[in-house]
Amino acid sequence: MTRNQPILSSHMKERNVHRKTARRGIRVGIATAAVAVIAALGFAAPASAAPVVDPNALGSITVHKFEKPESPTGLPNNGTEVGGITLDPLAGIEFTIKPVQGIDLATNSGWVDAGTLANSFDPAEPETSVTGAGYTLGAGTALTTDAAGEATFAGLPVGVYVVQETGHPSTTTPAAPFLVTIPMTDPTNHDNWLYDVHVYPKNSVLEPTEKTVEDADDVKLGDEIDFTIVSDIPNEQVIDAYKIVDPLDSKLDYVPGSVTVAFQNSAQTLVEGVDYEVVAADGPYINAAGVQETRFTVTVRFLADGLLKLAANNADQVVVGLTTTVNTVGEILNQAYTYPNEGSNVFVPGNPDGPPPGETITKWGGLTLHKVGMNGTSLTGAVFQVFTSAADAAARTNPVTLGGTTSFEVVNADGTLSLSGLRYSDWANGAAVAPDEAGYIQYYLVEVEAPAGYELLAQPIEFTIDAATTATGIDLEVTNVPKFTLPFTGGAGAGMFYTLGLLLVGGGALFLIVARVRARRIAHA
């Protein structure tokens, strides 16, 4: 068992680093990001633009959605269409635009109002920012990006618009809401207005959470098994929230104090109570049937100092380790979820619209045997022990403990005995294993006491545990042979023994008589 070592194998590290290079984390934008977009779009009253804005003109906003790169591209973001972009487009992202009513961009004062609104605009509260400034928002129009990552809102009147990402896959972070004006100053021709505006809000992409289990050294219920969770870090300079959640199946019991948290590659440490907190308590979970239930949940929530460390190590990954024990047989699915920003916290674990889980399975079961005589009659009174190696079975050392005992007696009148609480023979560390592979368990059944009147079994019986043996029904029939007894009375055989006895007794008497006669002769000589 490795309770305090969450670091994965070098092979898994290399794979995660390679994947991390291709795709990175996610987050909700912050106000400074929105202001930067506004500034980049030239969102201010133009000094040298054409003197008149056509109040009757119609324009457009084309959203180009790409995956956020590891480092800035250096490409312009000024409202014009940019060619030659080699980033991965993101399809299926929904954007909604709403016009800000009460600002007239055909007037100089209207541009001043727009600039004031831009300075106070809060992407975390876009609608409140507008209404708080004394304006209202019109009805929204929603479009979804196509295979090229584009969505064009055409036929838009002159005005200020709030652009908001309202639908996205759970593995991506919504871009921060931002403001766009139609028109804006043409950056390549400053005495002209640009009515068709192109914007390039990018999404960071989060690799799915990974969940693994270490149970190859575990045999019985109550043994401690270790789970490891590997989570991406958002590719952002500022991370507003981050937590990893593990809603445990009821067949698992959490070992208090077993949580460990570390970076996958960075030597920088993460300290509980300073960088993160561990909350172990009941929480909501939506099961496979879509029904919300309560599960004991272990949550690692990053605090302010920890969020700064995450942002400083956003090319790395977070590794969480925790230990549980299994309390009930079954094929136990264990899931973990990563919530990499404040916006994702609205989802309950298990919600199909939320972050996808990392998951693994640990499998535990049993076997039912039937104790019979040679004529098929059910027998009671036999006592068995279970071992996990041929050597232990032969020496009767290190028997497996189930339910607090190492000896299991057949007491049922029908001759059945159920051995429950053993790990599947052919499943270890979350994957199928063959008999010649590490983690495979061959079990041995040894009869240590036979039913009254019957011979002990001469050798251990090999058996395995899997889904079939765990199902109801008889899995193994164990037959005993009646004891062999020597006949001492009655029958021809008995006569032979009696005759031999008489000969032995008679011969002995004759020897004594001869011995005495010889003794007397010697005495009188």
How long is the chain? 525
Q: Write the pLDDT tens digit of every residue in 215-242.
A: 999 999 999 999 999 999 988 778 889 9
Q: What is d(CA 307, CA 285) in angstroms, rounded to the nearest whole number? A: 25
Residue, of 12 and 109, whose pLDDT is higher: 109
**28-203 in CATH: which number?**
2.60.40.10
Phi/psi of residue 34, nearest 5 degrees? -65, -40
Q: What is d(CA 405, CA 407) in angstroms, rounded to the nearest whole number? A: 6
Which of 39-43, 181-185, 285-289, 318-322 comes out lowest in average pLDDT?
A: 39-43
* The pLDDT of residue 188: 83
On the question of pLDDT at 499 being above 60, the answer is: no
Which of 20-24, 60-64, 261-265 comes out lowest in average pLDDT?
A: 20-24
Confidence of residue 350 (pLDDT cuts 50, 70, 90): very high
Across the range 124-129, mean pLDDT stands at 87
What percent of the chain shows pLDDT beyond 90?
66
CATH architecture label of 10-18+206-356: Sandwich (2.60)
Confidence of residue 73 (pLDDT cuts 50, 70, 90): low
* The pLDDT of residue 1: 43
* Token output for 422: 């053993």
**364-480 in CATH: which number?**
2.60.40.10
* The pLDDT of residue 407: 98
* Token output for 36: 């930067």
DSSP SS3 for 223: coil
* DSSP collapsed to 3 states, 357-386: CEEEEEEEEEEEEEEEECCCCECCCCEEEE
* The pLDDT of residue 283: 97
Asked if 212 contacts 430 with a C-beta cutoff of 8 angstroms, the reply is: yes
